[in-house]
């Protein structure tokens, strides 16, 4: 499949356990240290030695969470009006906190109740956005954008830690891209493999040095704490892997800290086996158990990650034992159960969310209405730029022609952004079945509702709208249908 890694918790790496397939390409603990731990158990003396990659930037001033009133204002060049939206982050997820009008290029949020963490500031929609740090230790923060693209050049004259954060993001992106390129070259490295592996280790250390530098440059800040969380203090000690990540610190969940650390833990200790995953899940749960707030964040991070990597039996373990269990789930809020229900609804035997989306001709396709009119309906998420989707068309087309008159329907849901490109692809690929798109790519509400992280993705529904099959390939649908018609 063609994956969309920026929307997926990278627990998929744990299934392969190979640095060449991703390893620790997350800006956190380099693979040279974590993979060694996975390969062979370290002695007790070794496991109790703090890693040189860990530097503690947590002080009395930035320890724990803090909430207070903040004023957030700024300017956006080349934009006169619109809506400025503030989202609070939780791992890879975000939720709207507030919005304010942009008037003559200026905006202001007055005295918002803010807790320490990473937030997203957006103009009109979350596609034009940038991450920021908000910390009530700073009562007023100003953001000035030099263009109407918020991801471009920007300054924050009264928030040094945001200056440092943006600097780190730039270097982290460059570092990850360089490491990704080196890992791709490993397959053909031959006799030079050791040299390439050393280059990867050197690049990882470059990022660690940057993290340590920022801790020194911006002491007592939330940024210093974020950099501290990047590398576990005891990466080769399974029982102490989370020791430096305080479960009582709610500010950790307003960042990637919890999900990144869980990813590292799974990669290092699960060995890619179901039993390994279950053991790791139990240890994660035990660490965060003292605080239901961070526990919910950790549980949902794992639940979403395992779902996105196709490990639904592991998801069920989390649901049954920790979220819906009458004893273990007693201290959890209804919010996580509502969020978990979204994943449950996408499992075989359950009813996924309905959608009503327009075709290129302007007609609206209602999924559940379509299901009721057919014996089986295949929902196919695809995109014009997806080569794997193109390879699937020779299977989908003949299958549609063979079964359509018997009560089989296909609804293509495109992840395109350009209507012209979308409709051209429909004609070029000879897709005669109904097509819909919200033209918002990965940000499409239907894509988010169905938690699509790769194309193509299939859901086969029966007449009642229940999922009967979640195939990886179209020929699996054909094999299913030939026994039904």
Q: Is residue 328 part of a domain?
A: yes
Q: Is residue 193 part of a domain?
A: no
Query: From CA 410, how far away is CA 399, in angstroms rounded?
Result: 10
Last residue of a domain, one of 114, 140, 160: 160
Q: What is the pLDDT of residue 274?
A: 95
- The answer to whether 143 touches 164, Cβ cutoff 8 Å, is no
Q: Is residue 406 part of a domain?
A: yes
Same-domain pairing of 450 and 385: yes
Same-domain pairing of 99 and 133: yes
Same-domain pairing of 256 and 309: yes
Same-domain pairing of 302 and 339: yes
Q: What is the pLDDT of residue 44?
A: 55
Q: What is the pLDDT of residue 114?
A: 97
The residue assigned the tokens 């963490």 is: 117
pLDDT in tens, 120-151: 999 998 889 999 999 999 999 999 999 999 99
Find the angle CA(177)-CA(263)-CA(225) to the nearest 5 degrees.
Answer: 80
Q: How far apart are the first and last CA of the chain?
A: 29
Q: Which residues of the chain have pLDDT under 50?
A: 1-41
Q: Is residue 107 part of a domain?
A: yes
Residue 246: Cβ within 10 Å count: 20
Q: Is residue 209 part of a domain?
A: no
Domain count along the chain: 3
Same-domain pairing of 469 and 401: yes
Same-domain pairing of 476 and 380: yes
* SS3 per residue for 418-485: CHHHHHHHHHHCCCCCCEEECCCHHHCHHHHHCCCCEECEEEEEECCCCEEECCCCHHHHHHHHCCCC
Q: What is the pLDDT of residue 197?
A: 95
Q: What is the pLDDT of residue 43?
A: 56
Q: Is residue 368 part of a domain?
A: yes
Same-domain pairing of 293 and 382: no
Last residue of a domain, one of 127, 160, 193: 160
Q: What is the CATH number of the domain that holds 125?
A: 2.60.40.10
Q: What is the pLDDT of residue 203?
A: 96
- The answer to whether 345 touches 466, Cβ cutoff 8 Å, is no
Q: What is the CATH number of the domain that holds 413?
A: 3.40.30.10
Residue 72: alpha-carbon gap to chain centroid: 27
Same-domain pairing of 323 and 435: no
Q: What is the pLDDT of residue 8?
A: 40
Same-domain pairing of 368 and 465: yes
Query: From CA 190, how far away is CA 61, in angstroms rounded?
Result: 51
Same-domain pairing of 377 and 306: no
Same-domain pairing of 336 and 379: no
Same-domain pairing of 331 and 413: no
Helix ranges restricted to H, 186-291: 193-217, 222-229, 257-269, 274-288
Last residue of a domain, one of 311, 344, 377: 344
Domain interval for residue 391: 356-481
Q: Is residue 248 part of a domain?
A: yes
Q: Is residue 144 part of a domain?
A: yes
């Amino acid at each position: 499949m063609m994956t969309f890694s920026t929307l997926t918790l990278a627990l998929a790496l744990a299934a392969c356990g190979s640095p060449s397939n991703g390893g620790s390409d997350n800006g956190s603990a380099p693979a040279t240290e974590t993979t060694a731990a996975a390969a062979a158990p370290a002695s007790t003396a070794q496991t109790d030695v703090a890693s040189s990659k860990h530097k503690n930037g947590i002080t009395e001033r930035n320890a724990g969470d803090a909430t207070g009133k903040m004023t957030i204002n700024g300017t956006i060049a080349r934009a006169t009006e619109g809506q400025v939206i503030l989202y609070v982050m939780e791992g890879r997820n975000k939720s709207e906190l507030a919005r304010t009008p942009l008037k003559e290029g200026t905006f202001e949020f007055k005295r918002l109740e803010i807790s320490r963490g990473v937030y997203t500031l957006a103009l009109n929609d979350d596609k034009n956005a940038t991450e920021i740090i908000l910390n009530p230790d700073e009562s007023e923060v100003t953001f000035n954008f030099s263009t109407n693209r918020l991801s471009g050049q920007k300054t924050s004259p009264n928030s040094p830690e945001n200056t440092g954060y943006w600097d780190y993001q730039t270097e982290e992106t460059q570092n990850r891209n360089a490491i990704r390129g080196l890992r791709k070259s490993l397959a053909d490295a031959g006799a030079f493999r050791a040299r390439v592996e050393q280059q990867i280790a050197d690049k990882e250390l470059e990022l660690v040095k940057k993290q340590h530098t920022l801790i020194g440059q911006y002491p007592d800040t939330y940024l210093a704490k974020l950099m501290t969380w990047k590398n576990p203090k005891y990466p080769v000690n399974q029982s102490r892997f989370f020791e430096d990540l305080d479960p009582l610190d709610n500010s950790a969940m307003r960042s990637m800290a919890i999900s990144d650390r869980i990813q590292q833990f799974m990669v290092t200790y699960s060995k890619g086996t179901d039993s390994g995953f279950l053991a790791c899940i139990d240890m994660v749960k035990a660490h965060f158990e003292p605080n239901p707030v961070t526990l919910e964040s950790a549980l949902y991070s794992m639940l979403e990650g395992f779902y996105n990597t196709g490990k639904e039996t592991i998801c069920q373990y989390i649901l049954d034992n920790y979220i819906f269990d009458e004893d273990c789930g007693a201290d959890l809020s209804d919010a996580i159960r509502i969020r978990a229900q979204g994943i449950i609804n996408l499992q075989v035997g359950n009813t996924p969310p309905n959608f009503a989306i327009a075709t290129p001709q302007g007609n609206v396709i209602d999924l559940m209405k379509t299901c009721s009119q057919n014996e089986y309906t295949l929902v196919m998420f695809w995109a014009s730029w997806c080569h794997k989707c193109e390879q699937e068309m020779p299977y989908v087309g003949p299958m549609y022609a063979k079964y359509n008159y018997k009560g089989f329907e296909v609804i293509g849901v495109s992840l395109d952004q350009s209507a012209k490109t979308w409709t051209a692809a429909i004609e070029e690929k000879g897709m005669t079945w109904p097509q819909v798109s919200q033209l918002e790519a990965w940000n499409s509400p239907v894509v988010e509702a169905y938690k699509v992280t790769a194309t193509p993705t299939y859901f086969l529904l029966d007449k009642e709208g229940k999922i009967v099959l979640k195939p990886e390939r179209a020929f699996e649908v054909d094999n299913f249908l030939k026994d039904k018609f």
